[in-house]
A = this chain, B = another copy of it.
């Protein structure tokens, strides 16, 4: 088992990484002070891993809430179901919430933990690559609103993250690739060396070789932990982790949440953002092409959905990354070095969307 620490003062927490961790009682025990726990998971993950986690929590009073699969579970209605279940089980302020599943379960259960009785402790047990590299680190929790993704949420740090790469064995190919999109994002935004490594090891990752997976997840967590430690509430540098996301969120909203996986939308979004970076005179020649190759090499879409560029731009305008009415983008100054740009000319955005579709 490998462990790293997210340094956030009194909110610091460990990330444990390895194969077969999910059933280890010793990893949960430190957080079971109140003697009760509530596992939030979904209908796909429950048959695979719920009983194992329950066994690891033996000795505690355990309840569970099984929510629907997919992005639609990040809803007001599902959140209310979680609260109903917690209250029916008389969960108090010292109940540990265990988020067992992918990013959706983590976001939903994490937000429930953030606001249930004004905040209870929670542990993340991410079972998708996406959640292991991204959504389990940093304390962002949220649900969606009809008018936009992640519109209602909170910053609430987990007490620990237990990342069991053995759970990736049961992950559908499409979701594995979607997770690789976030891996690529970390590399492109923050670490040129890691981009090289990915170009060399993509085949092993796609073949789910555990050593490669552990290494990729670990590097992403290190990179993200560093950024989050420097900027917990995303007022500055943390925004760089949104590379590809302004475009990506618009793709998700424009196609109806769920049609495109988050990672797929971010994949096409990164190609658009790279094209925009080139048009802003930032990214060297061939840079956008290299981004496109890396994305495509992971079996991810490089072309957006059949939506007019104007429709995407309109959707971006309601995204919360808009500041004081201006479109802001995370762009690449170089491969492995992202930067934030405000007041971007809408025509360049349009051109970038068109170029990405070529």
Report whether A92 and B323 are in contact in the complex, using a CB–CB cutoff of 8 Å.
yes
Interface residues of A in 128-155 (CB under 8 A from B): 140, 142, 145, 147-148, 150-155
Report whether A115 and B154 are in contact in the complex, using a CB–CB cutoff of 8 Å.
yes
Q: How far is the CB of A89 from chain B (nearest CB, A)?
A: 11
Complex alpha-carbon distance, A88 and B147, angstroms: 8
Report whether B92 and A320 are in contact in the complex, using a CB–CB cutoff of 8 Å.
yes
Report whether B118 and A140 are in contact in the complex, using a CB–CB cutoff of 8 Å.
yes
A contact face: mostly helix, strand, loop, or mixed: mixed
Query: Does A119 lie at the interface of the complex (its beta carbon under 8 Å from any beta carbon of B)?
Result: yes
Report whether B83 and A151 are in contact in the complex, using a CB–CB cutoff of 8 Å.
yes
Interface centre among A119, A152, A320, A323 (most CB of B within 10 A): A152
Contact partners of A152 in chain B: CB under 8 A: 83, 115-117
Q: What does the 1/0 interface line of A315-355 toward B look like (CB < 8 Å)? A: 00110101110000000000000000000000000000000
Complex alpha-carbon distance, A90 and B325, angstroms: 10
Report whether B151 and A117 are in contact in the complex, using a CB–CB cutoff of 8 Å.
yes
Report whether A145 and B324 are in contact in the complex, using a CB–CB cutoff of 8 Å.
no
Report whether A93 and B320 are in contact in the complex, using a CB–CB cutoff of 8 Å.
yes
Query: Does A80 lie at the interface of the complex (its beta carbon under 8 Å from any beta carbon of B)?
Result: yes
Interface centre among A80, A115, A153 (most CB of B within 10 A): A115
Q: What does the 1/0 interface line of A101-122 toward B look like (CB < 8 Å)? A: 0000000000100111111000
Query: Does A35 lie at the interface of the complex (its beta carbon under 8 Å from any beta carbon of B)?
Result: yes
Complex alpha-carbon distance, A356 and B334, angstroms: 74
Query: Does A94 lie at the interface of the complex (its beta carbon under 8 Å from any beta carbon of B)?
Result: yes
Q: How far is the CB of A139 from chain B (nearest CB, A)?
A: 10
Query: How many protomers of this protein does the assembly include?
Result: 2
Contact partners of A145 in chain B: CB under 8 A: 83, 87
Given the known interface contacts A87-B148, A87-B151, A148-B87, the answer about A320 and B80 at a Cβ–Cβ threshold of 8 Å is no
Interface residues of A in 28-87 (CB under 8 A from B): 34-35, 76, 80, 83-84, 87
Q: In the complex, which of the residues B114, B115, B324 contacts A92, with contact meaning CB atoms closer than 8 Å?
A: B324
Complex alpha-carbon distance, A323 and B114, angstroms: 19
The residue on B at minimum CB distance from A118 is B153
Contact partners of A142 in chain B: CB under 8 A: 118
Q: In the complex, which of the residues B87, B94, B322 contacts A323, with contact meaning CB atoms closer than 8 Å?
A: B94
Q: How far is the CB of A310 from chain B (nearest CB, A)?
A: 18
Complex alpha-carbon distance, A15 and B155, angstroms: 26
Q: How far is the CB of A123 from chain B (nearest CB, A)?
A: 19
Complex alpha-carbon distance, A150 and B115, angstroms: 10
Given the known interface contacts A115-B115, A118-B142, A142-B118, the answer about A324 and B151 at a Cβ–Cβ threshold of 8 Å is no
Q: In the complex, which of the residues B80, B84, B87, B153 contacts A117, with contact meaning CB atoms closer than 8 Å?
A: B153
Contact partners of A119 in chain B: CB under 8 A: 154-155, 233
* Chain A residues within 8 Å of B, Cβ to Cβ: 34-35, 76, 80, 83-84, 87-88, 90, 92-94, 111, 114-119, 140, 142, 145, 147-148, 150-155, 233, 317-318, 320, 322-324
Give 12 CB contacts A-B under 8 Å: A34-B324, A87-B145, A87-B147, A87-B318, A90-B317, A92-B320, A114-B115, A117-B320, A118-B153, A118-B233, A119-B233, A154-B154
Having A87-B145, A117-B153, A118-B155, one finds 6 other A-B pairs with CB under 8 Å, namely A92-B320, A111-B115, A114-B115, A117-B151, A118-B142, A118-B233
